[in-house]
Amino acid sequence: MASNEENRKKFAKSAIDFINKYNFDGIDIDWEYPESGDKDNFAKLLKDLKAVSNKKLVTIATASDSVKIDAGYDVPEIAKSVDFVNVMTYDFHGSWEQKTGQNSPL
């Protein structure tokens, strides 16, 4: 969807129409995870959303792994289009470890 300009614009309009209809504060995009081929497309999608957001919030949930960030996120471009970034840090620790870490299921 994000690789096609027409589809991006349709999605952006549809999403913003939905949040306006139900009086939401904005939209949070959680794309797990854009790869190098979609790095530009993800930034363009966020830019298209922001262009029609009419002051509604545009936020994203992002990877915390620097390899994923470098591969899939054009950080300077994304920063121009989002109001807030939620870094997904909940998978730093888990059942694969011998010790309990922060934000682990107990």
Where in the sequence numbering do the catalytic residues fall? Answer: 32
Enumerate the β-bridge partners of residue 29.
Answer: 60
Element (H, E) at 9: helix 5-21
Q: What is the DSSP string of 48-93?
A: HHHHHSTT-EEEEEE---HHHHHHH--HHHHHTT-SEEEE--TTSS
